[in-house]
């Protein structure tokens, strides 16, 4: 493990999850580019302070990005302004994430069982109300972002509180689902060289059942509901997910899978190549 950390293939991270705290907008962008401009576009997006991940698709001239923005005005300014003016950009499709269901924190391929968040999703039970965090909580997380393995005594010293207070605060955050304190490592290093991105369209009345079924798949490491999932009952719902596998995903009798696209992460916890097919549910 130390060798992976030293070489940069793994790192310890800590963050409060803004989706669970209802802080800002998490937006997924699909940026279509002119041929020959993919890398420059990806680099320009990765350089933004509000960018959380960037991925290149080589099957089509597209770059996928995830941004964290303060509000809809900021989203409009980004699309119509700075991102829209990147040389080579010809089209931008945006989708605000309405509900975060699973994250990479819930991907535990060698764990003893599902994480509490995944278990609740499978059972169809709601997550508890998020904790109310204060300045001390945020300061603690900021220190862990700098060094997630910082000793408790040093954490307490930096916060100017007793060690028992620091330990109690950290335990409270870790028991909740709003703090992700974990090891980021390339899935390929764990024997999962393929990462796939799916967009599934399901009948609205079957959405809850579909989400619970998807949560049972241990390979799924990211699951969200974009805006189409919250439309009228007559409109098909959309579910987006990412999955890590040991081989490219195969067709299932229940899904129509279009030809896959290859993509690479440029500014994300993983950097593995990935097949990225889309699928439609009848």
Closest CA to 115 of 221, 243, 240, 246: 221
* 23-96 CATH fold: Alpha-Beta Plaits (3.30.70)
How many other CB atoms are there within 10 angstroms of residue 256's CB atom?
Answer: 14
Domain boundaries, the chain: 23-96, 99-126+186-281, 128-183
Q: What is the pLDDT of residues 48-92, one digit of tens each?
A: 999 988 888 766 778 999 999 999 999 999 999 999 999 999 999
What pTM was estimated for this model as a whole? 0.71
pLDDT at 104: 81
pLDDT in tens, 80-119: 999 999 999 999 999 888 888 888 888 877 777 888 889 9
pLDDT tens, residue by residue, 109-143: 777 788 888 999 999 888 888 888 999 999 999 99
pLDDT of residue 145: 87
pLDDT of 267 higher than 70: no
- Asked if residue 201 lies in contact with residue 254, where contact means CB atoms within 8 angstroms, the answer is no
Architecture of domain 128-183: Orthogonal Bundle (1.10)
277 pLDDT higher than 50: no
């Amino acid at each position: 493990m130390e060798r992976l950390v030293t070489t940069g293939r793994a790192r310890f991270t800590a963050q409060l999850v803004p989706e669970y705290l209802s802080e800002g907008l998490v937006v997924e962008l699909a940026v279509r580019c002119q041929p020959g401009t993919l890398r420059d576009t990806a680099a320009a997006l990765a350089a933004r302070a509000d960018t959380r991940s960037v991925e290149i698709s080589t099957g089509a001239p597209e770059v996928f990005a995830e941004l964290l923005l303060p509000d809809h005005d900021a989203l409009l300014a980004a699309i119509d302004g700075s991102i829209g003016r990147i040389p080579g950009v010809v089209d931008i499709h945006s989708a605000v994430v309405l509900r975060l269901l699973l994250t990479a924190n819930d991907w535990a391929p060698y764990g003893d069982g599902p994480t509490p968040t995944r278990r609740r999703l499978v059972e169809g039970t709601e997550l508890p109300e998020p904790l109310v965090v204060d300045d001390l909580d945020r300061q603690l997380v900021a220190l862990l972002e700098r060094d997630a393995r910082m000793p408790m005594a040093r954490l307490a010293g930096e916060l100017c509180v007793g060690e028992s207070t620091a330990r109690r605060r950290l335990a409270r955050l870790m028991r909740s689902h709003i703090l992700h304190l974990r090891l980021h490592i390339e899935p390929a290093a764990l024997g999962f060289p393929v990462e796939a991105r799916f967009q599934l369209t399901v009948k609205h009345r079957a959405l809850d059942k579909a989400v619970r079924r998807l949560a049972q798949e241990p390979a799924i490491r990211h699951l969200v509901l974009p805006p189409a999932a919250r439309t009228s009952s007559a409109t098909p719902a959309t579910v987006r997910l990412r999955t890590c596998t040991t081989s490219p995903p195969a067709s299932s009798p229940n899904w129509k899978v279009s030809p896959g696209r290859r993509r690479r992460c440029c500014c994300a916890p993983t950097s593995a190549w990935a097949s990225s097919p889309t699928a439609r549910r009848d």
